[in-house]
Amino acid sequence: MPQQERAECLVNHNNPIPTTDLRLQPPPILARIKPDDPAARAVCAALATARSRMQESEASARAGDSEGIHRLRTATRRLRSELRALGELVDPQWLEPLESELKWLAGVLGAARDVDVLSQRLRKDLAARNADADQRALAPVFAELMARQARAAHELQHVLLGERYRRILAALERASQHPPLTAEARVACRRALPPVAAKAWRRLKKAARELRRSDPDELFHEVRKLAKRARYTAELIAPALGQPALKGARRFIRRTSRVQDVLGAHQDAVVAGQEVAAALAAHPEDGPFAEAAHRLLESQRAAADAARSEFFDLWDRLDRKKTTRWIRKATKAKARLTARS
């Protein structure tokens, strides 16, 4: 196992190595990370920012607000992605249980968020087609979704008031001030972080370039997750590599976000279609219900097909040398620094 170091991340940018005898002032969420700062600061920033975002969204999520739930879920999933990307900088024995707890929390949030998104999507589809009769025929589907939504909201409120969630927040606070680091975290950002961005891009590029229009839905969903990780990684580390890298990364982040969004729309259509198909199987003898369900199912399939087509157009714009030049430049600069040292 890599050597573990418990360190504090200071805002004093003249000190290139984490220290253990001073407290972080101001908090890392407000600190501007510089290329010559230790990569430990990126870990601190990820942890502190995530905790702040989670606390800001907690009250509205607990009240059942859809956007609050979405923000809290996004903060949780983003932190999992960032910690996975920065995995070589932190103690794996510390990371594994935290990642497991974040996965659990994201799952609870997802149960509440996903059913809300599904219900809204189906209602929007019917409204766009002026299918009032179909909506009446499909009343059992929406009644079931409302019941599931109520159960999920009750469970989420219980979780956010519970001790397990509080322990996660406390662990993030402690770790943002005293992160369990490996020796690699002492290395300057300009050396330690470019390979992180390059790795995230390579994984996305390989999966997306192999994707074909006829591939299973699961492969498109996997590319979506990789696009999200590449975007989160770029948003975290590009500012720590200096203004030239940040300027180049902005185009990459915009285009990766668009790929992520269109594949998110694809996944939403696929899940909605699966929900309708399951409801159809449960009401095989109900003629009006079956007819309405078939029309809704076909509409969602068409939406999924349209999202697939749009993905390939967006991918062509992302998979260009100009868009990923900032990663190559940062990686080459890191290689030159390594060769001189």
Q: Please tell me the predicted confidence (pLDDT) of residue 285.
A: 79
- Looking at the domain assignment, is residue 7 inside a domain? no
Q: Say if residue 55's pLDDT is above 60.
A: yes
Predicted TM-score of the model (pTM): 0.87
Same domain membership, residue 160 and residue 96: yes
Mean pLDDT, residues 314-320 taken together: 97
Backbone region of residue 18 per phi and psi (left: phi > 0; alpha: psi in -120 to 50; beta: other values): beta
Q: pLDDT by residue (tens digit) across 5-53?
A: 555 553 333 333 333 322 323 334 434 789 999 999 999 999 999 999 9
Which of residues 157, 188, 219 is at a domain's end?
Answer: 188
Same domain membership, residue 199 and residue 163: no
What are 130's two structure tokens?
Answer: 């002026």
Same domain membership, residue 236 and residue 168: no
- Give whichever of 26-30, 127-131, 238-242, 311-315 has the largest mean pLDDT: 311-315
Same domain membership, residue 302 and residue 207: yes
Which of residues 188, 222, 255 is at a domain's end?
Answer: 188
Mean pLDDT, residues 246-267 taken together: 96
- Looking at the domain assignment, is residue 74 inside a domain? yes
Q: pLDDT by residue (tens digit) across 154-198?
A: 999 999 999 999 999 999 999 988 889 999 999 999 999 999 999
Looking at every residue in the chain, the average pLDDT score rounds to 89
Same domain membership, residue 228 and residue 341: yes
Q: pLDDT by residue (tens digit) across 200-231?
A: 999 999 999 999 999 999 999 999 999 999 99
- Looking at the domain assignment, is residue 100 inside a domain? yes
The pLDDT > 90 percentage for the chain reads 81
Q: Which CATH number belongs to the domain containing residue 236 in this structure?
A: 1.40.20.10
Q: Please tell me the predicted confidence (pLDDT) of residue 283.
A: 82
Same domain membership, residue 184 and residue 39: yes
Q: pLDDT by residue (tens digit) across 57-100?
A: 999 999 999 999 999 999 999 999 999 999 999 999 999 999 99
- Looking at the domain assignment, is residue 269 inside a domain? yes
Q: Which residue has the higher pLDDT, 11 or 315?
A: 315
Same domain membership, residue 38 and residue 168: yes
Alpha-carbon gap, residue 3 to 44, rounded angstroms: 18
Q: pLDDT by residue (tens digit) across 152-161?
A: 999 999 999 9
Q: Please tell me the predicted confidence (pLDDT) of residue 332.
A: 84
Alpha-carbon gap, residue 192 to 195, rounded angstroms: 7
Q: Say if residue 236's pLDDT is above 70.
A: yes
Nearest to 75, CA basis, from 232, 301, 222, 213: 232
Range of the domain at 117: 33-188
Domain count, the chain: 2
Same domain membership, residue 239 and residue 171: no
Same domain membership, residue 45 and residue 164: yes
Same domain membership, residue 214 and residue 106: no
Which of residues 165, 188, 211 is at a domain's end?
Answer: 188
Same domain membership, residue 205 and residue 149: no
243-282 helix and 92-128 helix, angle to the nearest 10 degrees: 60
The alpha helices in 161-242, defined as continuous H runs, are 163-177, 189-192, 194-210, 217-237
Amino acid identity of residue 175, one-letter, is A
- Looking at the domain assignment, is residue 4 inside a domain? no
Same domain membership, residue 323 and residue 212: yes
